[in-house]
Amino acid sequence: MAGPITYRSYLRLDDLLACQTPLSQAHDELLFISIHQASEIWMKLCLHELRAARDHVASDVVSPALKMLSRVSRIQTQLIQSWEVLATMTPADYSTMRGSLGGSSGFQSDQYRQIEFLLGNKNAGMIEVHEGDDAIQAVLRRDLAAPSLYDETLRLLARRGLAIPADRLERDFTQPYAYSETVEAAWAAIYREPDRYWDLYELGEKLVDLEYHFQLWRFGHLKTVERVIGFKSGTGGTPGVPYLAKVIEQKFFPELLGVRVRL
């Protein structure tokens, strides 16, 4: 970087602020672009923190992972609030710019898919959405085949002497995780003696916090889409609101929700 470092040069604001380029004369297109670009930057940070947290859990170093997961939950709060800003766009506002979107859709966000894969919502079919982009597909295939944050958490529980079935420790990680009553019993043991298993108890709660905020994020997306376009199909060919409603039902860490009933 030539010359002294300034606020503008350090943040590369010339490059960053040149990225908001509306394709229509619609006043609200700048809002639409800004919200989605900002969300992608936040998701980049989420991925940075989630990958590091998973590595720490895999190395039995839980404390830094707790801080990183707390940070992701706070980032999710920012993402949730962004729907409030986007919801100021009225149906008439959106209709004046929708043609500029072509076939583009948030459904095509590879960073969002990476986050889902890291949290355990594995679906190989989602990689096909990025057909023609070999680099992105390679990243998604890597994340699809790798243990999720929850997979590494269960391995940690097993190393700490808790009864985790072998088929949950070594399995085909390209497949979505399936509920296990034995795993729920292991979490119940942790939750009944939090002082004995304090870092594992805290880790469990951080995971619940992640899922809680992720569901709020999905719900915010659903209600914003419903408010702006109603029950029209999405630009990427998805059914829109019905698809988003179905997605909300997906769970990342089923035993951590089920353990509350046990207690």
Distance in Å from the first CA to the final CA of the chain = 58
Token output for 104: 């583009």
Task: Yes or no: say if 114 and 47 are a contact pair by the CB < 8 Å rule.
Answer: yes
Q: Is 174 annotated as a binding residue?
A: no
Rounded to 5°, the CA angle 246-141-53 comes to 80
Q: Is 221 annotated as a binding residue?
A: yes
Rounded distance, CA 48 to CA 145, Å? 18
171 DSSP 8-state letter: S
Rounded distance, CA 182 to CA 163, Å? 7
108 DSSP 8-state letter: G
Q: Is 90 annotated as a binding residue?
A: no
Q: Is 243 annotated as a binding residue?
A: no
- Give the Cβ contact number of residue 101 at 10 Å: 16
* Burial (0-12, 13-18, 19+ Cβ within 10 Å), 96: middle
Binding site: residue ranges? 94, 98, 221, 235
Binding site for heme: residue ranges? 221
Binding site for substrate: residue ranges? 94, 98, 235
